[in-house]
């Protein structure tokens, strides 16, 4: 493991904790800079997500940013869906996954750049 890989992992982890797409950046790093196969990079990214998301949830809970009543209703089905999607991804052609992920990144980037995502309403 190179020092640059460790640094890239750290930076992606910090960005993930802030919800800034660190997982997407990690996938790009692993497949492009570290020359890793897509399937292996996806597996590492899923494992990587567990501690970074747990740390983010703890921080958000401490800051009162989580509706605790909704947590179990959303977390448990979300984990089940992630497991099923991971299994499904092993059955899909990697080149199709690359294209779909690329399309997703472009659409998400355009929405963020143009500000076309819906903004939350004030609860006044």
Give per-residue pLDDT as tens, 86-103: 888 788 888 888 898 889
The tokens for 111 are: 């929405």
Q: E strand or H helix at 95, and its extent?
A: helix 94-114
C-beta separation of 58 from 71 below 8 A: no
DSSP state letter for 1: -
Q: What gap in Å lies between CA 98 and CA 85, rounded to an integer?
A: 15
> Which residues of the chain have a pLDDT value below 70?
1, 17, 116-124
3-class secondary structure, 12: helix
DSSP state letter for 34: S
- Computed from CA positions of residues 121, 59, 24, 71, in that sequence, does the dihedral angle turn out positive or negative? negative
Per-residue confidence (pLDDT) for residue 63, from 0 to 100:
93
Task: Tell me the CA distances in angstroms from 66 to 21, 74, 75, one per residue in order.
Answer: 20, 11, 12
Q: What gap in Å lies between CA 121 and CA 49, rounded to an integer?
A: 29
The tokens for 78 are: 């979300």
């Amino acid at each position: 493991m190179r020092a640059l890989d460790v640094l890239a992992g750290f930076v992606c982890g910090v960005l993930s904790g802030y919800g800034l797409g660190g997982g997407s950046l990690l996938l790009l790093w692993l497949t492009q800079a570290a020359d890793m196969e897509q399937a292996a990079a996806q597996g590492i990214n899923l494992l990587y997500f567990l501690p970074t998301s747990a740390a983010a949830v703890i921080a958000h809970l401490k800051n009162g940013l989580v509706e605790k009543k909704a947590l179990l209703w959303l977390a448990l089905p979300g984990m089940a869906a992630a497991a099923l999607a991971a299994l499904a991804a092993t059955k899909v052609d990697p080149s199709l996954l690359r294209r779909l992920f690329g399309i997703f990144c472009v659409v998400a980037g355009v929405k963020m750049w143009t500000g076309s995502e819906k903004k939350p309403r004030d609860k006044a």
